[in-house]
Chain A
Amino acid sequence: MSSEAHTSAEYIKHHLQNLTYGHLQNGTWGIAHTPEEAKAMGFWALNLDTVLMSLLLGTIIMFVFHRAAKSISTGTPSGLQNFCEWAIEFIDTSVRGSFTAKNDMIAPLALTIFFWVFAMNLMDLLPVDYVPMLMHELGVPFFKVVPSTDPNATFGMAIGVFLLVLYYSIKMKGLGGFAGELTLQPFGKWGMPVNLLLEGVNLIAKPISLALRLFGNMYAGEMIFILIALMGGAWAGATLGGATLYGSQILLSLGWAIFHILIVTLQAFIFMTLTVVYMDMAHQEHH
């Protein structure tokens, strides 16, 4: 627990609050020190922790891959090159499996999504209190270290994917073709409003499900880590019950973390695969 004075509810709230920078109510720009302040900032505010962490992780990944790409040799690959080649081939195979049209952007897109999301999710395995406590010592009130537990991050990426879907739908089928796809099926031209409703929902559901799936999984996982962390925090003294709780926290954290490795990887993979599938649908002439 970061502070003795917190109750369980405060502890949870504290851990789920982003470090938000925006226009404070007293008229100045600054960091929100309470969730209420953050809420009052409205849309034009930045979650500094999310932005910083995703930028940092993305940069590290791109730096590593770029280093491998720069020093690549066609001879026997070394360690880093080996890893990057494995990663590229893995992505390439996945993309070839579900993307049938020809577009040189899809594979790099998939690579970026998979490793970026994977790295963001992986932050979930850091002990829940370490980074917030460290930041507390440095005078930063909140710090949520897992960007993918912030809906802004997942929706941000999903919107990026959605824009690409729209762009390629129109590019491949033409504006008329895309409009036709939205309005002329499944019921023919007399059912146009119904068609538009159905296809519209279908279209909008893509980015929303993409974002909510990742956010939901990571948020729930983070929440469980926080709840497990609360058990040890309930240790008031060297009593038998306190010791049991403390031991349980260690065991449960371990178990959940091991299980979470699966979720971390799986969610990154799902986000990537769905993106590729949506892009494939955007490239296909319809039924």
Chain B
Amino acid sequence: MNINATLLAQTIMFALFVWFCMKFVWPPIMAALEQRKKHIADGLADAERAKHDLELASKRSAELLREAKEKVSEIVANGEKRASEIVETAKTQAKVEGDRIIAGAKAEIDQEVFRAKEQLRTQVSTIALAGASKILGREIDAKAHSDLLDKLVAEIK
């Protein structure tokens, strides 16, 4: 328990150890710690950015999906419209065609009627003469009564 030169030895050792620690121990470990801290921070930032990107991408994909759906429904609506249009045109065309056929048929019928009438007209004077001669019991000169016969023919119309 005597105070002696150990005191000085201890102070010198102390100084040496502090110097050594300051020179060779503290800086490399501290630098490594800092670097690791930076690594971790970078990693976290990357993760954050990736998360953000993912969010954006999913938002974008949802938007695309929505757009596609809209397009599809638009196309479907167009198709339906087109189909109904086609049906409509077909209908009108059919109607027109029908009308045309009907008109044709009518014309034909008229023609038939006209022809029948013509035929009748040509034959009516003969028939009338035959009828009248039967009634009178003698021959009738067609030429003498031609004006009468013509009147009769004219009535058949």
Q: Using a CB–CB distance below 8 Å, which chain A residues touch chain B? A: 16, 18, 20, 22, 38-39, 41-47, 50-51, 54-55, 58, 61-62, 65-66, 68-70, 72-74, 84-85, 88-89, 92, 104-105, 107-109, 111-113, 116, 147, 150-153, 155-157, 159-160, 163
The distance in angstroms between the C-alpha atoms of A85 and B29, with both chains bound, is: 7
A contact patch SS:
helix
The distance in angstroms between the C-alpha atoms of A155 and B2, with both chains bound, is: 12
Asked if residues B13 and A58 are in contact (CB atoms below 8 Å), the reply is yes
Q: Which of B2, B7, B25 contacts A159 (CB 8 A)?
A: B7
The distance in angstroms between the C-alpha atoms of A107 and B13, with both chains bound, is: 18
The distance in angstroms between the C-alpha atoms of A84 and B15, with both chains bound, is: 21
Asked if residues A152 and B4 are in contact (CB atoms below 8 Å), the reply is yes
Q: How large is the interface on B (under 10, 10 to 19, 20 to 34, 35 or more residues)?
A: 20 to 34
The distance in angstroms between the C-alpha atoms of A84 and B25, with both chains bound, is: 10
The distance in angstroms between the C-alpha atoms of A183 and B14, with both chains bound, is: 31
Asked if residues B4 and A157 are in contact (CB atoms below 8 Å), the reply is no
Q: Which of B5, B21, B33 contacts A62 (CB 8 A)?
A: B21
Asked if residues B29 and A68 are in contact (CB atoms below 8 Å), the reply is yes
Asked if residues A73 and B13 are in contact (CB atoms below 8 Å), the reply is no
The distance in angstroms between the C-alpha atoms of A40 and B5, with both chains bound, is: 14
| Least distance between A83 CB and chain B CB atoms (Å) | 11
Interface presence of B6 (CB below 8 A): yes
Within 8 A of A (CB), among B1-55: 1-11, 13-15, 17-18, 20-22, 24-26, 28-30, 32-33, 35-36, 39
Q: Which residues of A contact B8 (CB under 8 A)?
A: 156
The distance in angstroms between the C-alpha atoms of A58 and B6, with both chains bound, is: 15
Q: Can you spell out 24 A-B residue pairs with CB atoms less than 8 angstroms apart?
A: A16-B1, A18-B1, A42-B4, A43-B4, A46-B6, A47-B6, A58-B13, A58-B17, A62-B25, A65-B21, A72-B32, A73-B32, A74-B32, A88-B26, A89-B33, A108-B25, A108-B26, A112-B21, A116-B17, A151-B3, A155-B10, A156-B7, A160-B10, A160-B11
